Amino acid sequence: MIEICLVAIIFFLLLHNFAIQRQYLSHLKELESKVLGIDLGGKVATPNEIAENPYRDISEVSPNEIIK
């Protein structure tokens, strides 16, 4: 009976230890992202949010415009 109680206590202590470590690591991750200025959402620009490229390809520019 004592062995079962000791095993249960050790098991709960291990679970508690893992929970504390997980909380600590998540806190470190949040702190690191705050210091580095990284957005936690990881939002990626969709094709609708990408601005149109204002530059033209050199093959589309006429020689008269290049001379100017």
Q: Whole-angstrom Cα distance, residue 68 to residue 8?
A: 84
| C-alpha radius of gyration, the chain, whole number | 29
In this predicted structure, what is the pLDDT of residue 45? 59
Q: Give yes or no for a contact between 40 and 30, defined as CB atoms under 8 angstroms apart.
A: yes
Each residue of 20-51: pLDDT tens digit? 999 999 999 888 888 887 766 666 656 666 66
The reply to whether the predicted model has a pTM over 0.85 is no
Residues 39/44/45/46 CA torsion (nearest 10 deg): -150
In this predicted structure, what is the pLDDT of residue 9? 97
Domain that holds residue 22: 2-67
Which amino acid is residue 22, in one-letter code? Answer: R
Q: How many domains does the chain have?
A: 1
